[in-house]
């Protein structure tokens, strides 16, 4: 198989996620059964794909769905530039190319039996959502201990996957905490920045592992809180983002020191991130 050749996909469904319409989710389905079987035989939460639009180019996006959800692959795209504007202008039924799954995944198989803490801020919640959905599959959920999810956004209109995540409040197998930066009328959950709210909730570090994704400022202030709670840097993972070209470790576009984010990552333990040059 040519690793540079995208497989043909079709947009099956588009969901406008945020009130300001800057984030939309695209559920893509496969045109060929063999491509679908190959994808789902490989895919694990945390991985990404290169999406391509003829005449516009290619760009990497984290997969935001779990394999058990159905025969589609979800991507949630923030409209910021040439490619993302082009995909936002597309409609259900339109064709699109996809390469992947690419990169490594959240190493959850290594942490069976542990309590899981997921901390996300802003639209970096995409692959964390895939991780939580994966863990919530009944046959998988029973292999782990407590599941705590802390998810922050600037305001309530910017939360992703609302109809689904609202049901998490009713479940007994997940402790779900949403936080917004400033008070809002009618908001009954947490108010405050993610690091402050994490300190308030204080998830136990005993037999626990944390997965943290968000803007760099959120990560910078959340790490000391987790450290204070007793999480060692070997037990905290994140997903890095660098500009990419090939996505398979050949072009050198995404390297940080000796590591290629596309191939050695995008998921790294903070113990590994600490070893990387600081220009990250
Ligand atoms: C592994 C990985 C997973 C990603 N997952 C998602 C996702 O789930 N959803 C999502 O919306 N985006 C995601 N991104 C970022 C996404 O790839 C970029 O937003 C996209 O490539 C921008 O393309 P564009 O042509 O619209 O922007 P451009 O026109 O190329 O650039 C617009 C602006 O965005 C900046 N920019 C573009 N790409 C990046 C980047 N990778 N890092 C920092 N700044 C950048 C540019 O410097 C410029 O200021 C991911 C990136 C990586 C590497
Ligand atoms: S994008 Fe080419 S080496 Fe990572």
> Is the distance from the beta carbon of residue 245 to the nearest atom of ligand 2 less than 6 Å?
yes
Which residues lie closer than 8 Å to 266 by C-beta, 6 or more apart? 46, 48, 62, 103, 104, 239, 240, 241
Mean pLDDT of 89-116: 97
**Rounded mean pLDDT of 58-78?**
97
Closest CA to 63 of 52, 76, 78: 76
The position carrying tokens 């009130």 is 19
Task: Judge if the upstream peptide bond of residue 101 is cis by omega within 30 degrees of 0.
Answer: yes
Ligand 1 atom having least distance to the Cα of 57: 25
Residue with tokens 């190959």: 38
Which tokens go with 249? Answer: 């470790």
198 pLDDT exceeds 60? yes
Report d(CA 76, CA 163) in Å as an integer: 15
Q: Which residues line ligand 1 (CB under 6 A)?
A: 48, 59-62, 76-78, 80-84, 123, 126, 241-244, 266
Average pLDDT over residues 93-105: 97
Q: Probe ligand 1: pick from 52, 62, 81, 246, max atoms within 8 Å of CB?
A: 81
Region of 175 (left: φ > 0; alpha: ψ -120 to 50; beta: rest) is beta
What's the pTM? 0.95
Three-class DSSP category at 29: strand
Structure confidence by residue, pLDDT tens digits, 9-57: 999 999 999 999 999 999 999 999 999 999 999 999 999 999 999 999 9
Token digits of residue 34: 């063999």
pLDDT at 248 (0 to 100): 96
C-alpha of residue 80 to centroid of ligand 1, in Å: 8
Residue 173's φ and ψ, nearest 5 degrees, are -100, 10
The confidence score (pLDDT) of residue 278 equals 67
Tens of pLDDT, residues 142-192: 999 999 999 999 999 999 999 999 999 999 999 999 999 999 999 999 999
Angle at 43 between CA 38 and CA 48, to 5 degrees: 115
The burial class, CB within 10 Å (0-12 / 13-18 / 19+), for 77 is buried
Check residue 160 and report its DSSP letter: S
pLDDT at 273: 87
Going from the Cα of 243 to the center of ligand 1, the distance in angstroms, rounded, reads 7
Tokens of 210: 């944390």
Ligand 1 center to 70 CA (angstroms) = 26
121: which strand partners? 152
The whole-number pLDDT of residue 250 equals: 95
Give 279's pLDDT tier (boundaries 50, 70, 90).
low
| Measured distance CA(172)–CA(178) in Å, rounded | 16
Q: How many CB atoms lie within 10 A of CB 79?
A: 16
The pLDDT score that the predictor gives to residue 126 is: 97
Amino acid 82: pLDDT: 94
pLDDT tens-place string over residues 220-263: 899 999 999 999 999 999 999 999 999 999 999 999 888 999 99
Which ligand approaches the C-alpha of residue 23 most closely?
A: 1
C-alpha distances in Å from residue 40, one per residue of 66, 68, 222: 10, 9, 33
Task: Render 132-153 in DSSP notation, one character per residue.
Answer: HHHHHSHHHHTTS--EEEEEEE
Residue 161 sits at the vertex; the CA angle it makes with 155 and 162, to the nearest 5 degrees, is: 60
Tell me what the pLDDT averaged over the chain comes to: 95
Please give the pLDDT value at position 100.
95
Location of structure tokens 């984290």: 62
Query: What pLDDT sits at residue 209?
Result: 98
Number of H helices, E strands in the chain: 8, 15
Q: Is 48 in the pocket of ligand 2 (CB under 6 A)?
A: no
pLDDT digits (tens, 9 = 90+) for 18-30: 999 999 999 999 9
Ligand 1, pocket-test mutation among 106, 243, 246, 259, most atoms within 8 A of CB? 243
Q: 99 CA distance to ligand 2 centroid (A)?
A: 13
Written as one string, the DSSP assignment of 39-66 is HHHH--TT-EEEEEETTTEEEEEE--S-
Site of tokens 């136990």: 204
Query: What is the percent of the chain where pLDDT is above 70?
Result: 99
């Amino acid at each position: 198989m040519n690793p540079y050749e995208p497989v043909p996909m079709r947009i099956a469904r588009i969901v406008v996620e945020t009130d300001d319409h800057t984030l939309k989710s695209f559920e893509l389905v496969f045109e060929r059964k063999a491509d679908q079987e190959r994808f789902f035989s490989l895919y694990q939460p945390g991985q990404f794909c290169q999406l391509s639009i003829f005449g516009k180019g290619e760009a990497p996006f984290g997969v935001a769905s779990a394999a058990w959800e159905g025969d589609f692959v979800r991507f949630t795209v923030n409209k910021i530039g040439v490619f993302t504007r082009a995909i936002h202008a597309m409609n259900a039924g339109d064709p699109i190319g996809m390469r992947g799954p690419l990169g490594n995944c959240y190493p959850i198989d290594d942490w069976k039996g542990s309590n899981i803490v997921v901390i996300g801020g802003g639209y970096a919640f995409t692959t964390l959502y895939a991780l939580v959905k994966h863990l919530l599959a009944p046959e998988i959920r029973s292999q782990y201990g407590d599941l705590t999810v802390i998810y922050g956004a600037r305001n309530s209109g910017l939360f992703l996957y609302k109809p689904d995540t609202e049901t998490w409040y009713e479940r007994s197998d997940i402790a779900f905490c949403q936080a917004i930066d400033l008070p809002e009328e009618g908001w009954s959950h947490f108010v405050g920045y993610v690091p402050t709210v994490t300190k308030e909730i204080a998830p136990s570090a005993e037999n626990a592992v944390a997965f943290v994704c968000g803007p760099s400022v959120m990560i910078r202030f959340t790490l000391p809180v987790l450290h204070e709670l007793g999480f060692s840097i070997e037990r905290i993972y994140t997903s890095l983002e660098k500009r990419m070209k090939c996505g398979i470790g050949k072009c050198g576009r995404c390297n940080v020191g000796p590591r290629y984010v596309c191939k050695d990552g995008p998921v790294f333990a903070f113990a590994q991130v600490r070893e990387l040059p600081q220009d990250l």
